[in-house]
Amino acid sequence: MKRKALIIGAGFAGLSSALLMLRDGWDVTVLDNNEGPGGRARLWSEKGYHFDMGPSWYLMPEVFDRFFASIGVPCAEVLKLTKLSTHYKVYFEGENAVTITEDLEATKKLFDSFEPNGGKRLDAYMKGAELKYDIAVGSFLYKEYKSVFDFFNARVLTEGLQMGIFQSLDKFVSKYFTDRRAKQILEYAMVFLGTSPNEAPSMYSLMSHVDLKLGVWFPKGGMNGVAVAMAELVKQRGGVLHFNHDVKRLQVENGQVTQVVTEKGTFEADVVVNTGDYVHGETQLLERRWQTYRQPYWNQRVVAPSMFIVYLGVKKRLPGLEHHNLYFSVDWNKHFDTIFKTPSWPENPCFYLSAITRTDASMAPEGCENLFLLVPAAPGLSDPEEFRQKYLSALISHVEKTTGQSFRDEIDVCRVFSQQDFSRDYHAFKGTALGLSHTLFQTAIFRPRLQSKKVKNLYYTGQYTHPGVGVPMTLIASDVLATKLKETRQ
């Protein structure tokens, strides 16, 4: 008889765990409260527009390659990828917009135009970023941290100190560059990690290697297309997926989960892997005595931003936009402060705007534009309907002015997704989009554990655990968990 695994969540963590556990001989059932696969990477379709609701950047392709190889299928057989020749366009407040392309030499020339020797400085910076990336992938990410000594090991303490990993990214970048545009290009990705350049350790400069050198890719069908392909593989390999199944309670007896309770039925399993919001999983699904991390623990964490997202279908094309577009205000610290210091809705917000039809025209009706607009915001802000409409209107004016594209009068489809939606649809603590921030003390050993301390057969993986936020990271987290399950012969 195969041992039974019950996985909560059909996001990237749940689907990748399911595939790895099927590989390892488990009988796998996945439960998710939403209507289809992807978790935060769900799809929303309306009037012929198909919106990726969450992630849109396919980064670190080698992590996907390694994941699919580990389950015995080449990535190219599962996903149809296109490499973007233009990685993104940046609108700088008060300056000309620039594009970052796959041509690193062109990016160096661009940096030369920002400040004297900018290209040379970028070269030196990128060498360090590549080294950090190699160390991270080689000996830092694919690993469970069981004690602080695993983290503060000899390599981290020697090479890490040389690389200045304990200083903030902003201080580190400032050693190389004074021009704010150069700095913003090298620092913006910290928002992907749910933190700010002032709080993120400078080891995350490795993100510049990811974004400027390894490249930006687009999977056919968008990021949700990746989740759909993974869900298909789960089914082909004998796994069972139940959508619209909200887990309400984990019944624990003698320190073991005995039943997983939903309104549609009760499931039994030898092992439960929870990939949903960790805070909800601990504080809402378990009785207090079985919680490893109680509410006060979570209240003291730095919670990653929520987001004000708008899905827009527009009845015309906006030729000035690239697939990925970013806007950075002159003083973006004001925006970061509204997220991390004085929680409030930002004025003159930095934003991300995606026009997916640049690469895949099938994501919108012919001649139309599918726009995804995102403003990071503090977690836990109130967003009643009246406020959302007002903020939306101001945001559209802001985007039109910044990009020089007008589209308000051609809006065909418009949906806001923000704080209350994250809480309702994903049980997200404080409406967070990304879970826990990547501050130094929420990295590696300092992230919540893979295994409950109190309930022996209860495991966690996903963006809350090590290595953290982002689709590639969740694939790695599942890999780490699968190794642990094998080692402990669960």
Ligand X SMILES: Cc1cc2nc3c(=O)[nH]c(=O)nc-3n(C[C@H](O)[C@H](O)[C@H](O)COP(=O)(O)OP(=O)(O)OC[C@H]3O[C@@H](n4cnc5c(N)ncnc54)[C@H](O)[C@@H]3O)c2cc1C
Instruction: Please identify which residue in 463, 466, 475, 476 interacts with ligand X, judged by CB under 6 A.
Output: 463
Closest approach, Cβ 157 to ligand X, in A, equals: 29
> Of the ranges 5-13, 67-75, 136-144, 358-366, which one interacts with ligand X (CB under 6 A)?
5-13
> Of the ranges 63-71, 106-114, 394-402, 461-469, which one interacts with ligand X (CB under 6 A)?
461-469
216 binds ligand X (CB under 6 A): no
Closest approach, Cβ 336 to ligand X, in A, equals: 18
> Of the ranges 167-175, 272-280, 286-294, 313-321, which one interacts with ligand X (CB under 6 A)?
272-280
Question: Would you give the binding string for ligand X spanning residues 309-348, x where CB under 6 A is met?
Answer: x---------------------------------------
- Say which DSSP state 25 is in: T
Closest approach, Cβ 64 to ligand X, in A, equals: 10
- What letters, b where the CB count within 10 A reaches 16 and e where it falls short, cover 267-279? bebbbbbbbbbbb
Tokens of 46: 């309306």
E strand map for 318-449 = 324-328, 351-355, 369-377, 411-417
Closest approach, Cβ 78 to ligand X, in A, equals: 17
40 binds ligand X (CB under 6 A): yes
Residue pair 363/357 in contact by the 8 Å Cβ criterion? yes
Cis peptide before 448 (omega within 30 of 0): no
Cα–Cα distance for residue pair 58/215, rounded to 1 Å: 9
370 binds ligand X (CB under 6 A): no
61 binds ligand X (CB under 6 A): no
9 binds ligand X (CB under 6 A): yes
Closest approach, Cβ 299 to ligand X, in A, equals: 20
Question: Phi and psi (nearest 5°) for 427?
Answer: 55, 35
- Helix, strand, coil percent content, the chain, rounded in steps of 5: 45, 20, 35
Closest approach, Cβ 342 to ligand X, in A, equals: 23
By beta-carbon proximity to ligand X, the closer residue of 118 and 281 is: 281
Closest approach, Cβ 296 to ligand X, in A, equals: 21
By beta-carbon proximity to ligand X, the closer residue of 335 and 427 is: 427
> Of the ranges 21-29, 30-38, 205-213, 264-272, which one interacts with ligand X (CB under 6 A)?
30-38
Cα–Cα distance for residue pair 403/419, rounded to 1 Å: 26
195 binds ligand X (CB under 6 A): no
By beta-carbon proximity to ligand X, the closer residue of 57 and 407 is: 57
369 binds ligand X (CB under 6 A): no
Instruction: Please identify which residue in 195, 370, 439, 474 interacts with ligand X, judged by CB under 6 A.
Output: 474
Instruction: Please identify which residue in 182, 471, 475, 482 interacts with ligand X, judged by CB under 6 A.
Output: 471
7 binds ligand X (CB under 6 A): no
Of 144, 151, 136, the C-alpha closest to 214 is: 136
Q: For the residues of 275-315, what is the DSSP string, one character each?
A: -S-HHHHHHTTS-GGG-SS-HHHHHTS-BPPEEEEEEEEES
> Of the ranges 77-85, 337-345, 400-408, 470-478, which one interacts with ligand X (CB under 6 A)?
470-478
Residue pair 293/460 in contact by the 8 Å Cβ criterion? no
Tokens of 288: 């207090």
Instruction: Please identify which residue in 5, 6, 7, 14 interacts with ligand X, judged by CB under 6 A.
Output: 14
- What letters, b where the CB count within 10 A reaches 16 and e where it falls short, cover 443-465? bbbebbbbbbeebbbbbbbbbbb
307 binds ligand X (CB under 6 A): yes
CA angle 262/267/269 to nearest 5° reads 135
| Beta-strand pair 265-267/49-52 | unpaired
Which spans of this chain sit near ligand X (rule: CB under 6 A)? Answer: 8-14, 31-34, 39-41, 54-57, 59, 246-247, 275-277, 280, 307, 309, 374, 426-427, 433-434, 462-463, 469-472, 474
